[in-house]
Structure 1
Amino acid sequence: MKLRTSPNGQAMPGPTQAFGKEAFEVIDHTEIRWLGNASLLINSRGTNLLIDPILDGFDMPLLIDMPIKSKEIPQVDALLISHIDGDHLSFETLANIKDVTKSYHAPTYVADVMTEAGYPTSEHAVGASFDVADIRITTTPTIHNWQNEMTKPKYTFREWKVEEYVGYWMETSDGTIWLPSDSKLMSEHLEMPEPDVILFDFSDNEWHITYDGAVKLANTYPNAELICIHWGSVDAADWSTFNGNPADLLEDVLNPERVHALAPGEKFVLPKKPNTP
């Protein structure tokens, strides 16, 4: 695990591994790339999913460089947004990839906001399934409507509903990938089939999973690979949302060799299942 430390004491990933159009080409397996914070690219045999991409206009200071410029992205088969928070939805990035994006997917309300902004977005209820080429995607429940506790007018103009935030369960030819997304730990999260990979938020924050909750989730699925996200990217040492340390997990999760603290842009290849061509 190659970690660095920021001047303010935050754990940081290794240096960014830049990539280009080759990451979007047809391949004979499935690759996952963490793009920093909560942004992800999944290439499953040439079908490309981009999840919560923030490659431009991040509204907080960053500790990392982006591994690719948004205007250099050649193809997006489906863009998935989990919720409306500013570290998950960037209209600047969406504008830069609009011409190469085939479809948009988001939960209720978020889909309306995106559609009104010029991005025709399919709305998906919690538990709904849809297909992108040969990938089956199902939304999973979350609890992350923290805005209801705020007092600033930019939050109080409406009631924020639980169903406006989702995770994504993705079934590929090479295995299952689960993004629980930003969420308090729910009983439903502990009753899933065991995924092959969890895109793992371990933020010790009351509107995220909390560290103890993250360990409980990880140990409920002791064979799932854990790709750490939502850490090491934002220069915010006093925000528990952003300053988790993947090395801490090595002490507490079963089979700690499955904890992966990737560098931004570094690829993780799903191991092929037996009898998979």
Structure 2
Amino acid sequence: MTQAKAERIEMNQSAFEKINNTKVYWLGGGGAMINSRGTVILIDPLLQGFDMPVLTEAPFGVKDAGHIDAVLITHCDNDHFSKSTLLDLKDQIDEIHTTHYVAQLSEEIGLEAKGHDIHDSFTVNGIKITLTPADHAWQNDSPKHSKVRHYEMEDFCGFRIETEDGVIWMPGDSRLMQEQLEQDPMDLILMDISDSRWHIGLDGVEKMAAAYPETPLLPIHWGCVDAPEWKEFNGDPAVVKERIVNPERLYVKAVGEAFELGAKD
């Protein structure tokens, strides 16, 4: 299988500085960074220490990161909950928000994290953030992982982030759920385009795109891990464009390239 490969643009300290709008960066894999008028939020940052070979590196390393107002973690998989990344960034992070289960895992390695119920809301510098539901308990189908514990729906989430310049939705890793098709309108969806049965899948991408036909889509979870046999790490924006309504609103960005909401710099 030939993999689509994401391009990369290096980021530096300037990406963490105060700006007059909101910029959203894909960090590779399932991760993202939001700088909303100087408030910096990382979602599922994986900057180092992954246990699989990569095609496209993260756009900056932990030593290059600036101040981080909050980190949001959607679930416990190590391509989203990177212990190595978080431990090396901990002195720069003000807050970590996640599900109750991942908060417990964070505390076990010495990281203070706030656990939330699904649909809970909290604020970071006036930005309202709400946990949205996700269906990703693949571990219960695994003979190895199901022996550890029974995973619940509440262990996985997405995040709806309401900035001054627009609403950003990170659904997180998830099979398609009816509730995900009935959200209030948003201004950007960070769209997982991998075609795995425990992810939204191409059919799910098509349905979600149809549910929000005018919303810009930023494809993620593709082109960064060197694993052609793993559907979880593969996807092709060109294939997605052929399947969705209004394909011109699929913004294929390089890792580290900004998508802007609000007034341009």
TM-score normalised according to structure 2 size: 0.97
> 1:165 maps to which residue?
156
User: Which residue number in structure 2 is paired with residue 270 of structure 1?
Assistant: 261
- 2:248 paired residue number: 257
Q: Does 1:60 align with 2:52?
A: yes
Cα distance in 2 between the residues matched to 1:85 and 1:176? 26
- Partner residue, 2:89: 97
2:129 aligns with one of 126, 130, 137? 137
* Structure 1 equivalent of residue 226 of structure 2: 235
Any stretches of 5+ residues in structure 1 without a counterpart? Answer: 1-7
1:3 aligned residue: none
Q: Distance in 1 between matches of 2:194 and 2:18?
A: 34
Q: Which residue of 2 aligns with 1:190?
A: 181
Q: Structure 1 CA distance, aligned partners of 2:147 and 2:141?
A: 9
- Counterpart of 1:32 in structure 2 is 24
Q: Secondary structure at the match of 1:114?
A: helix
Distance, in Å, in 2 between the alignment partners of 1:233 and 1:148 is 26
Pairwise CA distance, 1:204 = 1.2
Residue of structure 1 in register with 2:106 after alignment: 114
Q: How many aligned positions are there?
A: 264
CA contact (8 A) 1:147 1:156 kept: no
* Structure 1 counterpart of 2:81, one-letter code: L
Q: What secondary structure is seen at the aligned counterpart in 1 of 2:158?
A: strand
Aligned residues: percent identity?
A: 45
Q: Aligned ranges for residues 66-105 of structure 1 at < 5 Å? A: 66-105=58-97
1:224-271 Cα deviation digits (max 9, x unpaired):
110111000011111111111011121121211111221111111114
> Is the partner of 1:109 in helix, strand or coil?
helix
User: How far off is 1:63 after superposition?
Assistant: 0.2
- Aligned to 1:49, what secondary structure does the other structure show? strand
Q: Please tell me the residue identity of whatever aligns with 2:2.
A: G
Aligned-residue CA RMSD (Å): 1.2
Find the counterpart in structure 2 of residue 10 from structure 1: 3
Deviation at 1:183, TM superposition (A): 0.4
Normalised TM-score (structure 1) = 0.93
Q: Which of structure 1's runs of 4+ aligned residues deviate more than 6 A? A: none
Larger CA deviation: 242-251 vs 23-32: 242-251
Residue of structure 2 in register with 1:4 after alignment: none
Matches of 1:163 and 1:272 in 2, distance apart?
A: 37
Shift of 1:65: 2.1
Matched, 1:181 2:172: yes
Q: Look up the equivalent residue of 2:255 and give its one-letter code.
A: P
